[in-house]
Amino acid sequence: MRFKLFVYGTLKRGLPNHFYLQNAKYLGKARSLFAYPLVAPKKIYPYLVDSKGEGKIVKGELYEVDLVTLKRIDRLEEVPRYYKRGYIDVADERGKRHRAYTYFVAFPLPYRQFTFLEEFLPPKK
């Protein structure tokens, strides 16, 4: 069984947790069809808030993953304590629409006090 997964943070190519996607099929860059609050209060990783219609269109990457990979990422994201897995509608670079899993922050976060991001880029060292 295969699943589509939209990633917007440290799972993206070139970032620290991308190795979790080593067995995944990269489908390309993608963006959310609707605005969502994406914030990075700690600067080293972001939170996506499940508040459709607020925030900005979010840029990320789309993958096709198997169940083993999805469960491994669930453990990384500490589902359901830290993040929750949910669906998001995205468009790939060709404009094709996809319904994919993503990870939303699972605890109350005063996200309106932070700057909404379009894309997460970690600080340069």
The answer to whether the CB of 18 falls within 8 A of the CB of 70 is no
Domain 2-113: assigned CATH number = 3.10.490.10
The pLDDT of residue 125: 65
Stated pTM of the model: 0.96
Given a cut of 90, whether residue 40 has pLDDT beyond it is: yes
Which sequence spans correspond to the domains of the chain? 2-113
The pLDDT of residue 63: 98
105: which 2 tokens? 């922050």
The CA distance from 68 to 95, in Å, is 29
Residues 55-89: tens digit of each pLDDT: 999 999 999 999 999 999 999 999 999 999 999 99
Concerning whether 77 is annotated as a catalytic residue, the answer is yes
3-state SS assignment for residue 19: helix
The pLDDT of residue 4: 98
Which of 54, 61, 64, 77 does the annotation list as catalytic? Answer: 77
The answer to whether the CB of 86 falls within 8 A of the CB of 23 is no
